[in-house]
Chains A and B, each alone.
Chain A
Amino acid sequence: EVQMVESGGGLVQPGGSLRLSCVVSGLTFSDYWMSWVRQVPGKRPEWVANIRPDGTEKYHVDSVKGRFTISRDNAKNSLFLQMDSLRAEDTAVYYCASPRDSTLSLVGAIYHWGQGALVTVSP
């Protein structure tokens, strides 16, 4: 069974920083493209960032470019999201996510989701 366990969420003031972590088990982590997706309750999900299995390619949604950075540690089966210069509009539940398997044609079809980490940006 695949498990993705996020941590690091919380309440932070505008302009502050947080680092989200996600520990993954039940799959060969180093073979998978990994993603962060966020969702405000009652709103549509929003893709935040992707990272290639070997970490050499990273992509971020325009609204977080220059502020957020996705990274991974394959030796520790862990995915990270460093979030700096946080804004009120970054408030959401952040999910660690992946496709069902490592087949390249499945990258983008999100099958595995973590339980989510709530990030609240407020004075």
Chain B
Amino acid sequence: DIQMTQSPSTLSAFVGERVTITCRASETVGTWLAWYQQKPGEVPKLLIYQASRLESGVPSRFSGSGSGTEFSLTITSLQPDDSATYYCQQYNSYSRWTFGQGTKVQIK
């Protein structure tokens, strides 16, 4: 199976800072990569699909980039509501979808 590795595992930043989370795939997934935000007690929320397409209703401070095996999620100006755990997920076929281990974002 394709392994997804995120870094860092946790990050702490001030409101207004720019933060970037990286996701690396063990083999190429093209641009079949999604990013999710999950808050405690909630289901994951889709933020980005096809590596860089912003889901409707998601604030424009979120953006995704990358292809192949290297991807990133950037929050251009961190807001208090962005405190959550973020997961990447590859869906390179109709099966064997895998998620990264998650990045916990905390507000300083």
Contact = CB atoms under 8 A, between A and B. Distances in A.
B94 A110 contact: no
Contact of B94 (A33, A100, A115): A33
B50 A109 contact: yes
A107 B43 contact: no
A13 to B, nearest CB: 28
B34 A109 contact: yes
Interface in A59-112: 59-62, 95, 100, 105-111
Given A106-B49, A113-B44, A116-B43, A57 B94 contact: yes
A52 B93 CA distance: 13
A61 B96 contact: yes
A95 B94 contact: no
Given A44-B87, A44-B101, A108-B34, A59 B46 contact: no
Q: Which of A100, A110, A113 has the most CB of B within 10 A?
A: A110
Tell me if A's interface is mostly helix, strand, loop or mixed. loop
A31 to B, nearest CB: 15
A110 B98 CA distance: 12
Interface string B84-108: 0001010100111111111000000
B99 A44 contact: yes
Contacts of A59: 94-96
Interface in B44-101: 44, 46, 49-50, 55, 87, 89, 91, 94-101
B94 A47 contact: no
A54 interface: no
Contacts of B94: 33, 50, 52, 57, 59, 107-108
Interface string B15-31: 00000000000000000
Nearest to A107: B94
14 contacts: A44-B101, A44-B102, A45-B99, A47-B97, A50-B94, A57-B94, A62-B1, A100-B46, A108-B34, A108-B91, A108-B94, A108-B97, A109-B46, A113-B43
Given A110-B89, A114-B43, 5 more contacts: A44-B102, A47-B96, A100-B46, A108-B32, A110-B34
